[in-house]
Amino acid sequence: MSAPADLLLRTGPKAAEEVVDTYRELAGPVVEKVRDADFRTQWQAMADLGVLRLAAADDTGPGPVTRSLAMIEGIGLAGADPGICYALASQVFGMQFPLRAALAEDAWRAIAEVQDGGTLLCHALTERSGGSDPFSMRTRARREGDVFVLDGAKTFITAAPVADRAIVFARTGEGRSPFALSAFLFPLDIPGVVRAESFTKTALPSVPMGELVFEGARLPAGSLIGDEGSGLAVMASTTAWERAVILGYALGPMRRTLRRIVEWAAGRDHFGRRMGASHQVASRVSEMALALHRSRVQLYAMAALLDAGTPARQLAAEAALTKISVSEDYVRLTEHATALSGVRAFIADSELPADLHSPMAALTYAGPNDLLRVGIARQFGLPVEN
Ligand SMILES: Cc1cc2nc3c(=O)[nH]c(=O)nc-3n(C[C@H](O)[C@H](O)[C@H](O)COP(=O)(O)OP(=O)(O)OC[C@H]3O[C@@H](n4cnc5c(N)ncnc54)[C@H](O)[C@@H]3O)c2cc1C
């Protein structure tokens, strides 16, 4: 893409743009080296670049959230597999930041090695009976002295087949009381934890997904996050974090797609003229730029709010709006790219293969968009229930 067009996309804070550029350059050769490696090798290679490392709030440069967002955008721009970018964003924003905020200093220090990549986390909420309604969960933790014993199963969990530790939500009370759920963080190599089925995904296929079954698993003392009964509050925090910034993973892939399509339209001849000379083609390219622009502005705005110390739970509505907007713009951008690529969109080893499944999956995870819309309308005072 020519320099002026690239400048149009420089919508992040200046210090963040420097991080994006640094990580694009740093990651380039690493991405090439590990392109065909397994998930864990690619994960470790990105962790070795520092992508999982949370900056301290008083470090110079952009705030910690903005910095993480820019690092993930940078490696995506360098061509890192979108699935790896997704998994990194999921752990950094949906787990590490909320845990650092929720855990006492010594508890966070005890798991801080997750930032080196050697220990991988997963976030286990969904069950076979449904993911949208947390109160439908059947996984149960019963107290025995100062430990909890866990029974049940969590299904469709990103990274479950390879994770070392899990954040697991379980029922410690009855019914739909806001205090009926609790959250736990514990290692997965304890007796009573079984890694059951693995799922072959059509979206983000490079990231493993699986099921965790708990059969009388005695959780180590200290596994409870917060207080017994505070699971819904923990979940409100992890999901608000996710909704606010997880789709930052898509910025690098979106920019790469736009660049490829611009080059394609600029260089290909159609009907005796350049394809890009068609107003309809130009219009689709502009729509792609708009989708990317809206997404960048919103994601960096959310990062700035979080960096300013706004508690994630207070940003629930803005986070939901951002998640809906960016996920739908990611789908839209990919649809335009697919239309402009012709048959090549459907040829796996062409120069323009399309992947619509991965953007479409973003409409579902971190809260299905339809249900997020219901929550937003409720915030405006409409008497609408899920
Ligand atoms: C790529 C990917 C990664 C994932 N990773 C994880 C993970 O790491 N951890 C985890 O816990 N889960 C994960 N999930 C699961 C995800 O969180 C759930 O899919 C999601 O919460 C929805 O749950 P469900 O699929 O059971 O859909 P359901 O709850 O069965 O809902 C299905 C659909 O029905 C519609 N619907 C249902 N009820 C209503 C209503 N009242 N009003 C309007 N529409 C309604 C919605 O459109 C919804 O999408 C992942 C999913 C995907 C696709």
Q: Please tell me if the CB atom of residue 173 comes closer than 6 angstroms to any atom of ligand 1.
A: no
Task: Point out the least confidently predicted range of 55-69, 101-115, 142-156, 207-221.
Answer: 55-69
Structure confidence at residue 385 (pLDDT): 87
Q: Which residue has the tokens 């993480």?
A: 68
108 class by beta-carbon count within 10 Å (0-12 exposed, 13-18 middle, 19+ buried): middle
Question: Which residue, by CA, sits nearest to atom 50 of ligand 1?
Answer: 365
Q: Please tell me if the CB atom of residue 178 comes closer than 6 angstroms to any atom of ligand 1.
A: no
How far does the centroid of ligand 1 lie from the alpha carbon of residue 170, in Å?
Answer: 17
Please state which CATH number belongs to domain 121-229. Answer: 2.40.110.10
Q: Give the span between the Cα atoms of 350 and 341, in whole angstroms.
A: 10
Q: For 238-251, give one letter per residue: b (16+ CB within 10 A) or e.
A: bbbbbbbbbbbbbb
Give which of 235, 129, 223, 126 is closest to 180, Cα–Cα. Answer: 235
Beta-strand pair 209-219/165-171: unpaired
- Which atom belonging to ligand 1 lies closest to the Cα atom of 358? 1
DSSP state letter for 92: I
Average pLDDT over residues 288-309: 96
- Helix, strand, or coil here: 188? coil
Q: Provide the residue ranges of all domains of the chain, joining segments of one domain with +.
A: 3-95+238-379, 121-229
Q: Please tell me if the CB atom of residue 182 comes closer than 6 angstroms to any atom of ligand 1.
A: no
What are the residues whose beta carbons fall under 8 Å from the beta carbon of 73, sequence distance 6 or more? 12, 20, 23, 248, 251, 252, 255
Structure tokens at 231: 């699971």
- Would you say 329 and 93 are in contact if contact means Cβ atoms under 8 Å apart? no
pLDDT tens per residue across span 239-292: 999 999 999 999 999 999 999 999 999 999 989 999 999 999 999 999 999 999
Structure confidence at residue 332 (pLDDT): 98
How far does the centroid of ligand 1 lie from the alpha carbon of residue 360, in Å?
Answer: 12
Question: Which residue, by CA, sits nearest to atom 40 of ligand 1?
Answer: 386
pLDDT tens per residue across span 15-72: 899 999 999 999 999 999 999 999 999 999 999 999 999 998 766 789 999 999 999 9
Q: Left (φ > 0), alpha (ψ -120 to 50) or beta: where does 326 sit?
A: alpha
Q: Give the span between the Cα atoms of 204 and 156, in whole angstroms.
A: 13
What are the residues whose beta carbons fall under 8 Å from the beta carbon of 127, sequence distance 6 or more? 136, 137, 138, 139, 152, 153, 154, 155
CATH (one of 1.20.140.10, 2.30.30.60, 3.90.1150.10, 3.10.450.50) for 3-95+238-379: 1.20.140.10
Structure confidence at residue 9 (pLDDT): 65
Q: Please tell me if the CB atom of residue 123 comes closer than 6 angstroms to any atom of ligand 1.
A: yes
pLDDT tens per residue across span 323-351: 999 999 999 999 999 999 999 999 999 98
Structure confidence at residue 50 (pLDDT): 97
Which alpha helices (DSSP H) does the chain contain, by range?
3-8, 14-34, 39-48, 64-77, 82-91, 97-102, 105-111, 231-245, 251-267, 279-307, 316-341, 357-361, 369-379
pLDDT tens per residue across span 164-179: 999 999 999 999 999 9
- Would you say 46 and 87 are in contact if contact means Cβ atoms under 8 Å apart? no
Q: Please tell me if the CB atom of residue 385 comes closer than 6 angstroms to any atom of ligand 1.
A: no
pLDDT tens per residue across span 117-141: 999 999 999 999 888 899 999 999 9
Q: Please tell me if the CB atom of residue 360 comes closer than 6 angstroms to any atom of ligand 1.
A: no
Q: Please, what is the average pLDDT of the chain? A: 94
Q: Please tell me if the CB atom of residue 370 comes closer than 6 angstroms to any atom of ligand 1.
A: yes
- Which atom belonging to ligand 1 lies closest to the Cα atom of 128? 26
- Which atom belonging to ligand 1 lies closest to the Cα atom of 154? 11
Structure confidence at residue 4 (pLDDT): 47
Pocket test for ligand 1, best of 364, 376, 384 (most atoms within 8 A of CB): 364
Structure tokens at 209: 């997904």
Q: Please tell me if the CB atom of residue 158 comes closer than 6 angstroms to any atom of ligand 1.
A: yes
Q: Give the span between the Cα atoms of 47 and 43, in whole angstroms.
A: 6
Amino acid at the residue 200: T
Q: Please tell me if the CB atom of residue 157 comes closer than 6 angstroms to any atom of ligand 1.
A: yes
Average pLDDT over residues 80-102: 97
How far does the centroid of ligand 1 lie from the alpha carbon of residue 173, in Å?
Answer: 23
- Helix, strand, or coil here: 21? helix
Structure confidence at residue 312 (pLDDT): 94
How far does the centroid of ligand 1 lie from the alpha carbon of residue 137, in Å?
Answer: 13
Q: Give the span between the Cα atoms of 330 and 137, in whole angstroms.
A: 31
Please report which helix (H) or strand (E) contains residue 187, including its range. Answer: strand 181-187
Question: Which residue, by CA, sits nearest to atom 52 of ligand 1?
Answer: 365
From first CA to last CA, the distance across the chain in angstroms is 44
Structure confidence at residue 146 (pLDDT): 87
Q: Left (φ > 0), alpha (ψ -120 to 50) or beta: where does 6 sit?
A: alpha
Pocket test for ligand 1, best of 129, 156, 211 (most atoms within 8 A of CB): 156
